[in-house]
Chain A
Amino acid sequence: MSLFEQFIRAFQYGFMWRALIVGVSVAISSATIGSFLVLKKYAMIGHGLSHVAFAAVAIGLVFNQAPLFFSLPLVVFSSIFVLRLNKTAKLHGDAAIGLMAAFAMALGTTLVSTGGGFNVDLYSYLFGSILTIRQIDVYFAIGFSGVVIAFVLLYYNQLFSMTFDESFARITDIEVNRLNTMLAILTGVTIVIGIRAIGTLLISALIIFPAVIALQFNRGFKGTIGLSIAISLFTVVAGLLLSFFLDFPSGSTIVLLNSLVFFVVYLTRNLFKVQY
């Protein structure tokens, strides 16, 4: 069978379409939210939250419930909690994230071991599996990424102002605390949307990589976010297709593609002084 025929064949499967729709939704929302998080130096929040998502999935599996049902409130709550902890400066921000990640990972692993150990189901949640995406996940992804996109479009100017200079944003009556909380909630939501296609342990990469790659290009704020979305879409769609052809886990294929793009851009820029 030729490569082209294989490519066409991929789209004859319902699961492939579902994976692509979820993938595109995750790609857009994670790249958009990620751009703000990376520039606000909150990139590691995504990493910490992905571990909480793992614990939530473990709870769901142990109690035989839909893991997403547990993940959403737990991850969103943790996101707001870390943001508050960061703000009160009682613990250093990154240390707080480290504590949360380790605690969630330990809790998740213990729960899983009591429930019979690591199995195929858990493995697919850890690293993403396009075969397991159901119709309900598709609606969920479209709905929530729609919320993320609408939020960023409506509050774009305020988000830019507070990301660049929080003090100045406050004197222009921008409600910085409320927007930070919204950003934390939507970060949690983005992580949860990505659990199925990318996996709990790798979804944070999709928040960080596209934004960091886009920052290598000498663009303004709008241009950087646009580029970040484009890179995210490319790596997610290409990664999903590759994972189908090569039978690799979808999440790790997408993250490896992101790493490849990052190294190419970073090295050509810094070693060969290519100006993008």
Chain B
Amino acid sequence: MMDHDKLITVEDITVKYDRITALKHIQFDIFRGDFIAVVGVNGSGKTTLAKSILNLLRIHEGRVVWHNGTKIGYLPQHAGLEDRHFPATVFEVVSSGLLKDKAFPKWLNKADRNIIFDMLRLFDIETLADKRIGSLSGGQQQRALLARSMVMNPDILILDEPTNALDQESRGRFMQLLKSLNLENKLTIMMITHDVASVESYANRILYLEKHLLFDGSFEKFCETQPFSPYIHTHPKRFDKKGETS
């Protein structure tokens, strides 16, 4: 990879919550076009890593560098949807993705509305524009949140366990959508998941976290070199047949 393909450099970061260390000396680069899966058990620091890259947390040591004005989209784990009755329409939610580059008072104009509707069409949720987001199915909600990030026209998209609440079919459809954005739109993706098997055919890089970064490489190499890692240990059946969930 050339240096100009670097979007983000994580330089030896350590993050603590009070006295508990959540991440220790993490170091890696994210390159344009990467599809990275960040895996690890609960409490291994996956979400902390995402939040550190997004500048949502105080980093105690080291730093995160965004190269050449890299734009980052984010699909958080809960994203306001813990409250199913939150009165926000799909249109309103997606429109909040446009606020970053708008001048005060950040009111939307006709061109913005067109951008939003184009994105809703692309994700096949155009007819749901005026529906409350809480009334949608899990898959539709995730596509709406994805649309919110995509109207930002990001270089990289960070997703925190986006397929957790989805059934098998919606999960496959959502992963296909991410893959096509990665291949056709050259969107760099960093996805946090606790299910390595589900990203096998999508991710070109696996980052395996256990507070430290224990592994950074391809899925094949991950299975070869980390068969006895505590993470894989907790899901032994998943790895009976490579890539197939039990």
Contact residues of A with B, CB < 8 Å?
39, 153-158, 160-161, 163-165, 167-174, 214-215, 218-224
Query: Contacts of B136 on A, CB cut-off 8 Å?
Result: none
Q: Is the CB of A219 within 8 A of B99?
A: no
Does B87 reach chain A (CB closer than 8 Å)? yes
Q: Could you say which of B56, B86, B132 contacts A167, with CB atoms under 8 Å apart?
A: B56
Counting chain B CB atoms within 10 Å of each CB, which of A153, A215, A219, A220 scores highest? A220
User: A174–B130 Cα gap in the complex (Å)?
Assistant: 25
User: A214–B87 Cα gap in the complex (Å)?
Assistant: 10
Q: Could you say which of B80, B85, B108, B135 contacts A165, with CB atoms under 8 Å apart?
A: B80
For the complex of A and B, list the 6 residue pairs with the smallest distance between their C-beta atoms, beginning with the closest: A220-B89, A161-B96, A172-B100, A224-B87, A164-B80, A165-B80
B144-190 with Cβ < 8 A to chain A: 148, 152
Does B54 reach chain A (CB closer than 8 Å)? yes
Q: Is the CB of A171 within 8 A of B95?
A: no
Q: In whole Å, how far is B78's beta carbon from the nearest beta carbon of chain A?
A: 8
A221-B88, A222-B92 given; A172·B56 CB < 8 A: no
User: A161–B88 Cα gap in the complex (Å)?
Assistant: 10
Q: Is the CB of B132 within 8 A of A220?
A: yes
Query: Contacts of B79 on A, CB cut-off 8 Å?
Result: 164-165, 167-168
B-side interface mostly: loop
Q: In whole Å, how far is B121's beta carbon from the nearest beta carbon of chain A?
A: 20
Q: Is the CB of B108 within 8 A of A157?
A: yes
Question: Can you sample 11 A-B contacts with CB below 8 Å?
Answer: A157-B96, A160-B96, A161-B99, A167-B56, A168-B148, A171-B100, A173-B100, A215-B85, A218-B135, A220-B89, A220-B132
Q: Is the CB of B105 within 8 A of A154?
A: yes
A165-B76, A167-B56 given; A160·B88 CB < 8 A: yes
User: A154–B87 Cα gap in the complex (Å)?
Assistant: 20
Residue in chain B with minimal CB distance to A168: B74
A168-B148, A220-B130, A220-B132 given; A158·B87 CB < 8 A: no
Q: Is the CB of A171 within 8 A of B72?
A: yes
Q: Could you say which of A156, A157, A168, A220 contacts B88, with CB atoms under 8 Å apart?
A: A220
Residue in chain B with minimal CB distance to A211: B87
Q: In whole Å, how far is B39's beta carbon from the nearest beta carbon of chain A?
A: 21
Residue in chain B with minimal CB distance to A216: B85
Q: In whole Å, how far is A270's beta carbon from the nearest beta carbon of chain B?
A: 13
B55-90 with Cβ < 8 A to chain A: 55-56, 72, 74, 76, 79-80, 83, 85-89
Query: Contacts of B97 on A, CB cut-off 8 Å?
Result: 172
Q: Is the CB of A167 within 8 A of B99?
A: no
Counting chain B CB atoms within 10 Å of each CB, which of A155, A160, A165, A214 scores highest? A165
Q: In whole Å, how far is A128's beta carbon from the nearest beta carbon of chain B?
A: 29
Q: Could you say which of A153, A172, A218, A221 contacts B99, with CB atoms under 8 Å apart?
A: A172
Query: Contacts of A160 on B, CB cut-off 8 Å?
Result: 88, 92, 96
Q: Could you say which of B56, B85, B99 contacts A157, with CB atoms under 8 Å apart?
A: B99
Residue in chain B with minimal CB distance to A225: B87
Query: Contacts of B92 on A, CB cut-off 8 Å?
Result: 160, 164, 220-222
Query: Contacts of B135 on A, CB cut-off 8 Å?
Result: 218
